[in-house]
Structure 1
Amino acid sequence: MFQNQTFTSRYFNGVSAVPEDGTVLVHGQTIQFSSADTNHKISLSQFTEFIRTHNGCKLVLLPDEIKESPILEIFCTKDESKLLEKIWIQNKKSQSHSSAFFYSIREMNPIVLGLLSLIVVSIIGFFYFKGLEVVTNFIPLSMDKSLGDSVQVKMETGFDACDSKATDRFFSEALKQIVPKDSKHQFNVSVIGSAVPNAFALSNGKIYFFSGLLNEAKSQEEVLGVLAHEIAHIEKRHHMRNLVKAGGTSLAISLVIGPGLGNMEFLETFTEIGSTILVLKFSRDFETEADITSLDYLKSKNISTDGLLSFFKRMEEMENGENESEGTEDVVSAKDESSTARKITDFLNTHPATKERMKTLESLIQKGKKGTIKKIVSDTTWKEVQSTCLDLKKSDSK
């Protein structure tokens, strides 16, 4: 405890930029500043902030929210500054229970405090994002349909459709086989003329297959596996869940940052995120869930599960440049090369075929029955399905 100890100091009154030079007399819990023109006697508890500096400390008198606060700067040793801060904290802790809690935290070791903060934030974050998952249960399925309908309009203005009687027959029969009986969604499949070997689903039950996937498929069971995967995305409401998660994350960030986003910038940011999520890249967790669910769909209808694994293995090889398909450029339509189509196809690279994913699929397929049904239409119909977009291109060139 300081007893009548004097330090060199200077006082900023909050009005003038020029400080008053003087001395500070510290007696117990009281500080008395004296200069040629000023004499202030202030209790340590009256200062709202204590800041240690390289040559002493600074004590801030008022919250710096409305106007510049008076500041008392004391020149002292590092140990004296620590002792003075300790006295100040003890004074602040005695003011209320909340102050006692806050200033007790301030006294903690910075490393320990950092670790505790990380643990607390992690726990809060875990339950926060778990809560966001629950939120989706209270959103009606009509919202999924509206979300998908809005995207579908944009999608179909950017691509050429290659639907035919053969594709309609194939996918109609496939949907009857794979879609769960208790499904509340209305499913429909369309083929898009594009060399990209991919497929994606919208939240309203609309599923798109790029012709490149059909052209390069080695069997019907591969396409059935991919279809089951896309159906799983819709049944598990991955679009809406990801949208809620993205919106919740944006909200959490804005709360942490504070009002720095501006009056309307948060709404603009949320809208931008929402519009992007409409044609989203699914997270790894959602992809894994879709894989597992799709295998359940196939096994329940005795449909072969080997096709899904076979398809993703070939996609992995293509990505690694080990198995580049020949002649795919002949399938690319002129419209597919347009800027709109290009942007969407680049963005829709939603199914990374990682080695970890392959191992998971292999492990799941080995468990239980694998299914024996590999075909749902005749070989003749299947050949028509694979050649539909090629026939369309030939007819357009005549």
Structure 2
Amino acid sequence: MTNRFPVLHKRNYGTDSCNENRARCYEEDVKNYESEKEQEIEECTDEENTDTYLINKTRNEVIRILEPCTVERCLEALPKFNEYDVLIRTEAVALSGSDLHYYETGGQSYPGMTLGHDASGIVQEVGCSITKFRPGDRVVVESGLACGICDYCKKGCYNICNNLIFNGFLRKYQVHPADLCHKIPTDVDMIEATLTQTLALGCQACFKAQVLPTTNVLIIGAGPTAISAALCARAIGVGNICVASTIKEPLETIEKTFHFKCMHYDADMQYCMILECLYSALHDWPDAVINCAVSEKSMNLSVMALKPCGICILAECDAECACFNAMDVLMKNLKLIPSFRSINMFPTALQLIDGGKAPIGRLVANVFQWRKVELAFRKALHESNIGNKKVVIRCAEEDKDIYKKEDCKT
């Protein structure tokens, strides 16, 4: 009887020792493991026995969506594993916009994409070239796998890699490159850690806007990224922040839960009236606008409201095309800067969560157990249409590490 995972060569964690055998030990162990696994599967002569084998040996249940709004559970063997990877047991996954779009379309737009990109888990095994992790470490993952060799990756812009693919974690076990894993601080809850990616997007937008404690910040939009940007700006020390949106209910949640100044305006409202309300809220004009709802209305509002030499960050879109006054951009010497995905922002986001400066865990609306994954998708889709809360699926066993909201850094 073989072990559930490949037996890796024993090594001293936290050291740089490189024995002569270590380079080939991993390949030999994995080859032996795969050979024994294939032999055992061949011994299962019927389909029922094969399914029983997969359940008992790997327990790697995977969520697939092959038709719109239809969730299926499949059984898979453990992914291939190399010396620079870690094997992770998924603990929790926060459903993101890409997951919900895939759920609605049945994967027709992105065939072959795996689900669950905002995830936390526990390291089970490490490759023999990895020294910074050991089994039992709690980690959060950057799910985007860049090629590392294209021109953009060489420039450090791995977020726009030509060959970027996403490693999904809506499964019991997943293999991931160790350099895209980050240790979760001891006092941070695993559920709250799933929102590290969300907070990282807001952090990057703030840094690109060159936000300082004296900056007047206007954030347009009321989604999770807008909230993350506001939390990061507050953590930097900004005292004058206003969140504006055309959707009233999410703004009420932001004001009540995070205590930011909020301003609601109608989509058909005249610009002069919106600007008057904005000045009344900020008592000044903004130095920086973080636009998390890019559209014709929001872009023109940004350009009109900004002080000369101000910065407008384009973080998320409400529309594919937006016409705005280019002459104002030129005459006021404004900077329009995109902020797409995130680069090296996970450590910053985790530190803000650990220090209690960014209580992103308050965005969690519901936590569903693995057996209720279909209900989780329906709830997340409903929440995305009416609010800004997040739905999390707990992939671990139900009796382990039950989430309590009072445990998060709020």
Smaller-chain TM-score range?
A: under 0.3
Larger fraction in strand:
2
Q: Which has the larger radius of gyration?
A: 1
Normalised TM-score (structure 1): 0.19
